[in-house]
């Protein structure tokens, strides 16, 4: 947990999210079970994480447009590499970045991130805007999660033995943030391929 690691660059990161979303707009994807996700998502990189009735996967193109996802902004790559290196993962080069957008009332149910090819690679997660409570569970869905507060500028480097732990985000509380208004963004930088 690198508290405030992205604070200095936060405005540039938010501007870059806006540029990514101009090419690949945020959308509410459908889970394989047929539920519309309350989190709005987009991606950048060689591959983007998608879900639809057929399942969860990474794919090189945006299903809405058929075009490749926009490239990962240089500011994301630099931050991810620096955060990973400072946590013992030198040489981290992500090829996929999922961008999550939350409004008050939005939540993310407990899940594992297991669509990536190599679980030895960490995931670098960046929180921007409204605060959230991260639910950090165990290796079984039934394990009671720890509640971890995440605020604007916090970065988490997640790798090693807990890489496949269940986790989620509790329902976002009402609020206003000077940098994002009524929104929280989360970037997760991954080596998916
Ligand atoms: C979020 N994060 O903070 C959701 N997954 O909005 C995740 O689901 C996540 O932060 C894998 C690794 C780090 C994460
Ligand atoms: Fe996740």
Whole-model pTM above 0.95? Answer: yes
Please report whether residue 118 resides in a domain: yes
Q: What average pLDDT values come out for the chain (193 residues) when binned by 10 residues?
A: 98 98 98 98 98 98 98 98 98 98 98 97 98 97 97 97 96 98 98 98
Please report whether residue 122 resides in a domain: yes
User: What's the structural domain count of the chain?
Assistant: 1
* Separation CA 72–CA 95 (nearest Å): 8
Could you identify the residue written with the tokens 């058929």?
Answer: 66
Ligand 2 centroid vs 111 CA: distance in angstroms? 6
Please report whether residue 27 resides in a domain: yes
**Hey, what are 48's tokens?**
């983007």
* Separation CA 42–CA 38 (nearest Å): 13
Q: What is the pLDDT of residue 25?
A: 98
**Hey, what are 150's tokens?**
């995440």
Range of the domain at 84: 10-190
- Atom 6 (ligand 1) nearest CA: 186
- Ligand 1 neighbours, Cβ below 6 Å, are 100, 108, 113, 123, 125, 134, 156, 158, 167, 169, 186, 188
Can you give the CATH number for the domain in which 150 is found? 2.60.120.590
* Separation CA 173–CA 80 (nearest Å): 27
Please report whether residue 107 resides in a domain: yes
Please report whether residue 72 resides in a domain: yes
Please report whether residue 47 resides in a domain: yes
47-56 — which CB contacts under 8 Å span 24+ positions? 47/95, 47/96, 47/192, 47/193, 48/24, 48/96, 48/98, 49/96, 49/98, 49/115, 49/192, 56/32, 56/115
Q: What is the pLDDT of residue 150?
A: 98
Please report whether residue 3 resides in a domain: no
Q: What is the pLDDT of residue 140?
A: 97
Please report whether residue 4 resides in a domain: no
């Amino acid at each position: 947990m690198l508290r405030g690691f992205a604070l200095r660059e936060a405005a540039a990161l938010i501007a870059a999210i806006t540029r990514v979303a101009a090419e690949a707009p945020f959308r509410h994807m459908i889970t394989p079970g047929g539920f519309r996700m309350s989190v709005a998502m987009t991606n950048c990189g060689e591959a983007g994480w998608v879900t639809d009735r057929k399942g969860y996967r990474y794919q090189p193109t945006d299903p809405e447009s058929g075009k490749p996802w926009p490239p990962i902004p240089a500011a994301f790559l630099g931050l991810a590499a620096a955060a990973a290196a400072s946590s013992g993962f030198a040489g981290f080069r992500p090829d996929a970045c999922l961008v999550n957008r939350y409004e008050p009332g939005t939540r993310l149910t407990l899940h594992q991130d297991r669509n990536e090819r190599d679980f030895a690679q960490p995931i670098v997660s960046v929180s921007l805007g409204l605060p959230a409570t991260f639910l950090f569970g165990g290796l079984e869905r039934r394990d009671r999660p720890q509640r971890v507060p995440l605020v604007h500028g916090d970065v988490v480097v997640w790798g090693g033995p807990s890489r496949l732990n269940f986790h989620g985000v509790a329902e976002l509380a009402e609020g206003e943030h000077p940098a994002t208004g009524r929104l929280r963004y989360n970037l997760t930088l991954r080596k998916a391929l």
